Structure 1
């Protein structure tokens, strides 16, 4: 199952990605544990799956694996088959080699006895289960065991581990940077089991065999534990994929945020240059607030000259928030202050290039890295109207996934942001309406251009992550020109 993997932009035509459907563990989250497990609220899992996320999968299958899905779609939509079509432990599962489920990959490596023994031992040690439970897990069939290791639920319905509801945000477990794979080091304990599972998948599945020497893990020094508590807190490495963007073949963006530490960013700059992965690394330091979380909650790319971003981080927004203050008093005291530093291989790290505003950086990327022949343009969260900009940023208006240049998936609840897309000449269409056109063969996915596709998001938005978060691109066509 060896496959070519490579990502060198955010908007090249998407050919292969990894996604994880909401699993039954998400439906076990109770109100008192929701925030500890990084959800803003409890969700109704069946609605999240059947009325929201399944549309996301179907869109991806149509765009990435049209021939296979179009042949299967009448059977897949039959009421008796629909539920099992999207579940990787069922015989009716769609099993695409372009829209890939980590749970299925996990089940395949669990067929390897040595890997099964080591992985189950690792998970049980971390979760502090009994030895008897470990032995019991080893006897479960691989497809069911994969489901259990993710959801925490045994075949008899008993729950032995906490759920890992954030596993739906596959971007955070790993990122393709050209032909390298960067694995995460999560900031929150609620995501630690995700990290263990991801390591075993990437290091053991045949799909990634030829990339084994290109897997990058960023960890603290071996003697890190000898530091005192104050030094530990300053030097800790945490890293999540929402803070990493392979924006151009020669350029990587790294966010420093609530989830990715300054020390991790520093090490990434050096590793990327030492291994000749990219020439430029730009570090974007955003406020360490839950509202922002990762840089991809504040901006993502629509096409080479068009971006959607949070207005409060824009030049206009920052100037508005500083109005009435003596400029010299604002500076670092401004709670929404951004710091943007660019490090180029071979140049002095002590004198990086600085960008005052986010638009300046994004314009530089569009014009100089991606060679846009048109002026750089911006769509703002909430169409830059107060308070809608902040409301819609919270529900992931800036977090869109590009299927190809100019065709992106967002959430339907962000009305003002959608209006901003329309003002830029983009078509805005509901996912169900577009899928109906595909089903009826009124439209082929290849014919879709300059379009924002809106997913229903009443439940998905409670999880605090959009379509960009819910994807790990594994292969994109290189941008031409």
Structure 2
């Protein structure tokens, strides 16, 4: 692009200008029936087909004028900076499984790699048999195919490791051990890549668990944060305090969701598709509630906590709209559960009333079209094996403001 746009995101639906994606690679080839549960995938994806699907997703965004940044490209460029390289390697060596002796061997190996090779290992991992040398108890007790540096297949879901609130970034604290190091890589990019040199940091990975899939920017000044399997109430509170202190929010709605694989994040059950419209999983729509947090009276004061109130009612009040248009399908509960499992509610808005969705969710997409939402359908038979849709696979960096 002729002009580099500054980061700014104040909604879910403002016209998308710049987005961060991760094209899946060797890390997906590390998945086996033996380890896929531990690495948070529900199957073993066909890697080349997953790459084809992701390439088509990226091209669909580019064809609509969106600048697509790739995580591996940004990370490689950042790793050319010595302090960034040292931080990324330190994130690997923090793994307590390694111990002193194996840790020394890993450090020597990583430090010997070129920038491209280091980026590949940081994301794709390395097994014992791929490490040139090693010693110590941890090394001796490892099997040849055990991971010395675990792969990060969930890097595919760039939504979770960072969230932009206007021009400030929250580098999140990922709850599951298989994903912790993702935030180290994202943090390295935002701390050291020249493109983000002027960005302020709002949240860091050493705070309480908070994941980007649980954070919805309902409207300028109104944030919803799901708490459940991945984000804790303390993480939501920490984000709310930071947002209030920096004038980034007037209301933060804390929304309890079931601690379940199918509803791991708030964006697995609802996403915005227009200024005042939401696609929502009908099996939970009537039972969702929200606790409304507003700013304390001083830096050391307690947050004001209101509720619980029905979620859609609380959202409408915080957004200052008469009501939220809830887009419903005519599916029976079983069919609705199937489409929710296939990320039917996990849409990515490119602009008001323009959303990307998986093509397989026919009924949900038909309901969106009937409600006046243009749907850009993409394939996701392999990408969806990690339980994530178009919103999960994208971190908006720049949107047009709604104000």
What TM-score bracket applies, with the shorter chain setting the length?
Answer: 0.7 to 0.9
2:264 alignment counterpart: 293
User: What do the CA deviations read for 1:158-202 (whole angstroms, capped 9, x no partner)?
Assistant: 774221111010010100011211111111000011121112111
* Structure 1 counterpart SS, 2:263: coil
TM-fit CA distance, 1:120: 1.5
The aligned length equals 378
**Is 1:340 matched with 2:290?**
yes
Distance, in Å, in 2 between the alignment partners of 1:260 and 1:18 is 22
**Is 1:265 matched with 2:236?**
yes
Bigger Rg over Cα: 1
2:120 alignment counterpart: 147
1:87 alignment counterpart: none
TM-fit CA distance, 1:131: 2.1
1:409 alignment counterpart: 356
Normalising by structure 2, report the TM-score.
0.87
Contact persistence 1:174–1:241 (CA under 8 A): yes
Contact persistence 1:179–1:214 (CA under 8 A): no
Contact persistence 2:122–2:151 (CA under 8 A): no
Contact persistence 1:218–1:264 (CA under 8 A): no
Contact persistence 2:183–2:205 (CA under 8 A): no
TM-fit CA distance, 1:153: 4.5
**Is 1:388 matched with 2:335?**
yes
Distance, in Å, in 2 between the alignment partners of 1:391 and 1:34 is 21
Show the 5 A alignment for 1:47-446: 47-50=49-52, 52-65=53-66, 98-126=67-95, 128=98, 129-153=102-126, 160-211=148-199, 213-217=200-204, 219-220=206-207, 237-315=208-286, 318=287, 338-346=288-296, 352-354=305-307, 356-364=309-317, 368=320, 376-380=324-328, 383-425=330-372
User: What do the CA deviations read for 1:9-40 (whole angstroms, capped 9, x no partner)?
Assistant: 10000001111011111122011211111111
Distance, in Å, in 2 between the alignment partners of 1:297 and 1:349 is 31
* Residues 178 and 32 (structure 1), Cα distance of their counterparts in 2 relative to 1, 3 Å cut: same
Normalising by structure 1, report the TM-score.
0.73
User: What do the CA deviations read for 1:449-477 (whole angstroms, capped 9, x no partner)?
Assistant: x4111111211121100000111101100
Contact persistence 2:171–2:201 (CA under 8 A): no
Contact persistence 1:173–1:183 (CA under 8 A): yes
With 121-130 and 98-107 compared, the bigger mean Cα shift is at: 121-130
Distance, in Å, in 2 between the alignment partners of 1:157 and 1:400 is 39
Distance, in Å, in 2 between the alignment partners of 1:2 and 1:409 is 24
* Residues 161 and 303 (structure 1), Cα distance of their counterparts in 2 relative to 1, 3 Å cut: same
User: What do the CA deviations read for 1:355-405 (whole angstroms, capped 9, x no partner)?
Assistant: 533332344356x1xx58xx642223x544221111111111110000111
1:333 alignment counterpart: none
* Structure 2 counterpart SS, 1:238: coil
Q: Which has the higher helix share?
A: 1
User: What do the CA deviations read for 1:109-137 (whole angstroms, capped 9, x no partner)?
Assistant: 21112322332233134262442332222
Across the aligned residues of Structure 1 and Structure 2, the Cα RMSD in angstroms comes to 2.4
Contact persistence 2:225–2:252 (CA under 8 A): yes
TM-fit CA distance, 1:267: 2.1
Distance, in Å, in 2 between the alignment partners of 1:365 and 1:304 is 13
Distance, in Å, in 2 between the alignment partners of 1:403 and 1:157 is 42
1:451 alignment counterpart: 374
With 27-36 and 124-133 compared, the bigger mean Cα shift is at: 124-133
Q: Which has the higher strand share?
A: 2
User: What do the CA deviations read for 1:55-103 (whole angstroms, capped 9, x no partner)?
Assistant: 10101111235xxxxxxxxxxxxxxxxxxxxxxxxxxxxxxxx211121
* Structure 2 counterpart SS, 1:182: strand
* Structure 2 counterpart SS, 1:276: coil
Contact persistence 1:169–1:471 (CA under 8 A): yes
TM-fit CA distance, 1:3: 4.7
* Residues 421 and 118 (structure 1), Cα distance of their counterparts in 2 relative to 1, 3 Å cut: closer
Distance, in Å, in 1 between the alignment partners of 2:89 and 2:212 is 25
1:431 alignment counterpart: none
